[in-house]
Amino acid sequence: MSEPVVAQKFPTVQTVKPGSYYWCACGRSKGQPFCDGSHKGTTFSPIKVDIAEEKKVAWCGCKHSKSGCFCDGSHKSL
């Protein structure tokens, strides 16, 4: 499996409203942290995240988090 592109070495922290979000897993999207279809032709697919209530989240920007789409600090070792 190929490695994702490191989009940024820090998380995108934002308050999100309830709903479904598609997190970019490949790192190629111009609309980080969300998918814009740039993964087409790669082995990557976006990850669907369902948010039940409004809350603050830290979306992974480096695409190497062991916590999927949420930042776990992995960017510090890249």
Give the per-residue pLDDT at 1: 56
**22 within 8 A of 63, measured Cβ to Cβ:** no
What whole-number percentage of the chain has pLDDT above 70? 99
Confidence of residue 14 (pLDDT cuts 50, 70, 90): very high
pLDDT in tens, 46-58: 999 999 999 999 9
26, amino acid identity = C
**4 within 8 A of 59, measured Cβ to Cβ:** no
pLDDT in tens, 15-42: 999 999 999 999 999 999 999 999 999 9
Q: Where do the structural domains in the chain lie, given as residue ranges?
A: 1-62
3, amino acid identity = E
